[in-house]
Structure 1
């Protein structure tokens, strides 16, 4: 049995694992910064790949509506801040991107581990989205989400 099996899976009502990670400019951003607000935390495998670009663009395009509904949005990947800055600038992204190269936050949220890709079991980032409430608790935990159409589905589910 490998260390990646038996992944933690967060459930609604669980406390959201705290984090402080650098953004694309190297500025630390903490989950605690959003206390009193709802925040959508999404995990994606890699900046500047087709699916992740589509997802980040979708979140950026919907950011104003999400903010109007009381939601902040944070995207987390294992990419270093320099790559996130290139990604943000190349795609004109407005969503906050955070760097987790050690994958500690990815693991804490159960967003890193074994996954099936093209019929093979691999280890990597599990595309996941979490809605964290004003008190820092998991409101929704969505694992293995699709990159395309996910933001539209999330908006529908949240009534936005």
Structure 2
């Protein structure tokens, strides 16, 4: 990736709806070379997809919960089954296998505490856990989906 690709990627990470001609003019290229660069980044997997970012409050899922999970089942079969369970819950936006004292971390969005309680009860019937702990986000201070590009 050269400086043009980085600029293009930066623009698209902040606004994937920008037209190719707008992106091209912002980075100092004509439309066709800019389009080819975007296509190359999509083909190589640098650009994984383009999405619309929805407002959680307007979709009535304004409560963000970070769920830490510990298990005593450290084997591929359990993890495979838990992955399948997690895909069945649209409330789980992010799912990570962790190092340290916590085995897994989930980011969950729901409308309110009652909805979270329902989510929790459904989750614990689907998999075996040694411990689950929930932390509720009080305020979103920084949120972005744009990855840093200075390390390329």
TM-score by structure 2 length? 0.26
Q: Which has the larger radius of gyration?
A: 2
Q: Which has the higher helix share?
A: 2
Structure with the larger RCO, 1 or 2 (CA within 8 Å, 6+ apart): 1
Between Structure 1 and Structure 2, which shows a larger proportion of strand residues? 1
Normalised TM-score (structure 1): 0.25
